[in-house]
Homo-oligomer: A and B are copies of this chain.
Amino acid sequence: MSSVEEAEVVVLGWWISMFTSRVRIALAEKGVKYEYIEEENFPDNESLLLLKHNPIYKKVPVLIHKGKPINESKIIVEYIDETWKEGYSLLPYDPYLKYQAAFWADYIDRHIYKGTRMILDLKGEEMEKGVEELLGYLKVLERELGEKPYFNGESFGFVDIALICYYNHIIAYATLGTFSIEKHCPKLVIWATQCMKRESVSKALPDPNKIYDVLIEYRKKIGVED
């Protein structure tokens, strides 16, 4: 019998994937034990396990709970929050506060990845445009954070999970695009430092230096880096 059939909770993931980190943080925050299975040849070759449990998108992360697959990181985090209700809630109960959390998590997924791709795939002036665009999105998020310790107020939650998983990637992109996050978004840096103090977060995020190496390797492959 494989571990997928034995374990009640399984995560199929990929070490560098920010979306995988989201699921790991949410499970850790809820104190849920799980079996982690790394997709070893992702994204070039998906495992049969992944193809079976995410036939539509063929992407990590997948949460498998009692044999049933759950796909798409934000939806997985919401599922985790509603399934394991003990401890504090990652999403607020109040419908308007919950709406705000859903809105900003959606904003993060629409923009941050797009901004980083422009830096990753381009060079020179075009890359600088990507830096400007990414910083523009981050500044909107910094305004939304304002003086609060976390996005929804006093406690770490849904929007924090959505954004912090990009943070070490953004550090790598800051090296690549030679910009300072601290100079442009000082409050986000303070917020990130607070988030990183949580074991759930620090254990789930990949090392920025390793991310940087992967970015450089990719840039060499597509011919925008010598």
- Residues of A whose CB lies within 8 Å of any CB of B are 56, 65, 68, 70-72, 75-76, 78-79, 82-83, 95-96, 98-99, 102-103, 106-107, 140
Contact = CB atoms under 8 A, between A and B. Distances in A.
Given A82-B95, A82-B98, A95-B82, A103 B140 contact: no
B83 A95 contact: yes
* A interface secondary structure, majority: helix
Contact of A106 (B68, B75, B98): B75
A158 to B, nearest CB: 12
A79 B103 CA distance: 11
Given A75-B99, A79-B96, 7 more contacts: A56-B140, A68-B96, A78-B98, A78-B99, A79-B95, A79-B99, A82-B95
Contact of A72 (B65, B83, B106, B140): B106
Contacts of A103: 71-72, 75
Contact of A78 (B65, B72, B102): B102
13 contacts: A56-B107, A56-B140, A65-B96, A68-B96, A70-B99, A72-B102, A72-B103, A75-B99, A75-B106, A78-B102, A79-B98, A79-B99, A82-B95
5 shortest A-B CB distances, which residue pairs? A82-B95, A79-B99, A83-B95, A75-B102, A79-B95
Contacts of A99: 70, 75-76, 78-79
A194 B1 CA distance: 45
A131 B102 CA distance: 33
Contacts of A106: 72, 75
Contacts of A72: 102-103, 106
Contacts of A98: 78-79, 82
A215 to B, nearest CB: 26
Nearest to A81: B95
Nearest to A71: B103
A84 to B, nearest CB: 9
Contacts of A56: 107, 140
Nearest to A83: B95
A30 to B, nearest CB: 13
A129 B75 CA distance: 31
